[in-house]
């Protein structure tokens, strides 16, 4: 017999097809783009990028060649998404970090 204090579970089927909710993120130098998407279960990263490509906020972002990841870990486009995933689109580095640091350091030394 269930406890009176146990939370009740809602088990009725919701109307419409099942969906998973994900978040897709792209960080620009001045601001970030964060969008919530609803996709069909079994959708891949490539499916989510195709939906994002239709969004005007992602205009100019090279979604076809950009590296992507889920929660900071690089992922392949064939990977299946799960409910609650945060899909991140990574920008290419403008300059290698070690080289940029050396340049900054050499400017300080000369000053």
- Name the most confidently modeled range: 11-15, 56-60, 68-72, 98-102: 68-72
Task: Note the pLDDT of residue 5.
Answer: 55
What is the spatial distance between Cα 60 and Cα 51, in angstroms, rounded to a whole number?
A: 15
Domains identified in the chain, total number: 1
Give the percent of the chain with pLDDT over 90: 53
Task: Note the pLDDT of residue 2.
Answer: 47
CATH of the domain at 82: 3.10.20.30
**0.75 cut: is pTM over it?**
no
Quote the tokens at residue 53: 């490509």
Quote the tokens at residue 26: 């792209």
- Confidence grade of residue 53 (pLDDT, cut at 50, 70, 90): very high
Task: Note the pLDDT of residue 25.
Answer: 96
Look at residue 15 and tell me if it is in a domain. no
Look at residue 3 and tell me if it is in a domain. no
What domain range is 25 assigned to?
Answer: 20-97
Look at residue 12 and tell me if it is in a domain. no
Question: Regarding beta strands 67-70 and 32-39, do their DSSP bridges make them parallel or antiparallel, or are they unpaired?
Answer: unpaired
């Amino acid at each position: 017999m269930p406890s009176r204090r146990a939370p009740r579970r809602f088990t009725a089927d919701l109307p419409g097809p099942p969906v998973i909710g994900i978040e897709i993120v792209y960080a620009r130098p001045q601001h970030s783009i964060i969008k919530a998407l609803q996709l069909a279960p079994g959708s891949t990263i490539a499916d989510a990028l195709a939906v994002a490509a239709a969004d005007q906020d992602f205009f100019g972002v090279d979604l076809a060649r950009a590296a992507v990841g889920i929660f900071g870990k690089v992922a392949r486009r064939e990977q299946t998404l799960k409910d609650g995933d945060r899909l991140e689109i990574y920008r290419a580095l403008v300059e290698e970090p070690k080289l940029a640091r050396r340049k900054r350091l050499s400017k300080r030394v000369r000053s």
